[in-house]
Amino acid sequence: MLSKYVGRQTSSIENDITKTRNHSRQRGNIMRAVFGIDVSKVSSEVAILVNGEKVHGYTISNDALGFAWLLGDLRTVHKPEIIFEATGVYSRRLQTFLEDNGYAYTRLNPLEAKKQLDSLRVRKTDQIDAEKLAQSQFVLNRKPTYVQEEVYQNLRDLSRFYQNLTEDIVRAKNRLHKVLQVTFPELENILSTPSGEQYWNLVIAFPCKDFVLHLSKDELSESIRQSTSKRISDKRVAYLAEKLIALANQSYCAVKKTSPMLEEVRYYGKELLRLSEQRQTVLDQMVELAQPLPEYDILLSIPGIAETTATSIIGELGDIRRFQSANQINAFIGIDLRHYESGNFLAKEHITKRGNPYARKILFKCIHNIASASHTNPCHIADFYEKRKRQSQTTSTKPHTIASIHRLIRTMYYLITHNKLYDYTLTQNQ
């Protein structure tokens, strides 16, 4: 039934387009067919305009059946122009469908689309939005969106997965800390940092002081040895056993050994182990994908950038060569400056924060890593950062970090587009 219905619709569109094509030939015009698509969660509105005149509009489902309908209409015209607004995960399926069938498309940033279409909108519906997207293409003549290699999209997906796992780890750490304050807060002092595989295994084995004090020293040492998956020396086991006993004698537990809170402590310890292992697996996959790319070694040559940061930068920025200048990357991640001036009033400049927040966060941390590494591995970006700090009259390091990100982006863009490794000595000659 659906194929017959789609066939009738396509036949109707072919008739409309044929009429418009004949009119265009009589007038000596070149026929342009634009498909404006407004994508939502379950369905999409399609508006087909030929030489500025709407010839058809309908709703398709965002699945194989709906895309088959759209494909039938796309095949009725030569070089259709397709334009839609990026709607996160919802527009990914449409984008993949178009790429699989070899159709170029223009994907608009939502903010860009809003600015371009606001002046045209009197009423707002999905049908009107689709039509206005198509209409604006006849005026603005936007270029097709640059389609990156699949490896960059995979790296971006893995990068987002890595960021989500990191957020989950931070959340689980906070919850573990909260419940340990009731059961065994002194345990957080067993290691130099209350984090990592060994610490979480100790938390699982000894959620409260009773699990320490009810064991003999030999039994405690054996329990410590069994709680870690890595080989541990007898000297280290003896040290941990003595410290555990001291902390347990010092502790005053707010719950009994039968309290359900002890199971909660163990749960968060196991969850942190699982999340940490999964995050390492994702990082290994990112490194495996990024290593063959020439920009991977280039980014690693910059002091302070390790494999985690390098793969995350590639994942979030994608193929840097697609940008025409470093300033476009600034705008892409939202650190371009907002300037406002009216009459005698001049507002203080701030970054727009309209771009990729994940990339902004990664580069923000990257500057501090570069500054820390500069003690043993000098970098001109760290020199610039320290110089700005000395000259500044404010205690906040944020303005210096943003300025340093600008310089880092220019450096990365130059090195990658010219396929060169970083060399500190060359920066001193400029």
pLDDT one digit per residue (tens) for the chain, 430 residues: 334 434 545 555 666 555 555 555 545 457 899 999 999 999 999 999 999 999 999 999 999 999 999 999 999 999 999 999 998 889 999 999 999 999 999 999 877 777 777 765 567 788 989 999 999 999 999 999 999 999 999 999 999 999 999 999 999 999 999 999 999 999 999 999 999 999 999 999 999 999 999 999 999 999 999 888 678 899 999 999 999 999 999 999 898 888 999 999 999 999 999 999 999 999 999 999 999 999 999 999 999 999 999 999 999 999 999 999 999 999 899 887 664 555 655 455 567 777 788 999 999 999 999 999 999 999 999 999 999 888 877 767 788 888 899 999 999 999 999 999 999 998 876 5
End-to-end CA distance of the chain: 71
Asked whether the CA dihedral 411, 414, 416, 418 is positive or negative, the reply is: negative
| Interstrand relation of 81-85 and 106-108 (parallel, antiparallel or unpaired) | parallel
Coil, helix or strand for 317? Answer: helix
Rounded to the nearest 10 degrees, the angle between the axes of helix 398-417 and helix 357-373 is 90
Secondary element (H or E) of residue 129: helix 126-140
Q: What pTM, to 2 d.p., does this model score?
A: 0.83
Residue corresponding to tokens 């030489």: 51
Residue corresponding to tokens 């906040």: 396
Burial class (CB in 10 A: 0-12, 13-18, 19+), 347: exposed
Instruction: Sketch out the chain's domains with CATH numbers.
Output: 2-140 (3.30.420), 152-287 (1.10.287.4070), 293-428 (no CATH)
| Interstrand relation of 33-39 and 81-85 (parallel, antiparallel or unpaired) | parallel
Amino acid at 203: V
8 Å CB contact between 128 and 41:
no
Predicted local distance difference test score (pLDDT) of residue 350:
67
Q: How many CB atoms lie within 10 A of CB 71?
A: 16
Please tell me the distance from the alpha carbon of residue 80 to that of residue 77, in angstroms, as a whole number. Answer: 6
Q: How many helices (H) and strands (E) does the chain have?
A: 18, 9
Angle formed at CA 277 by CA 271 and CA 279, multiple of 5 degrees: 100
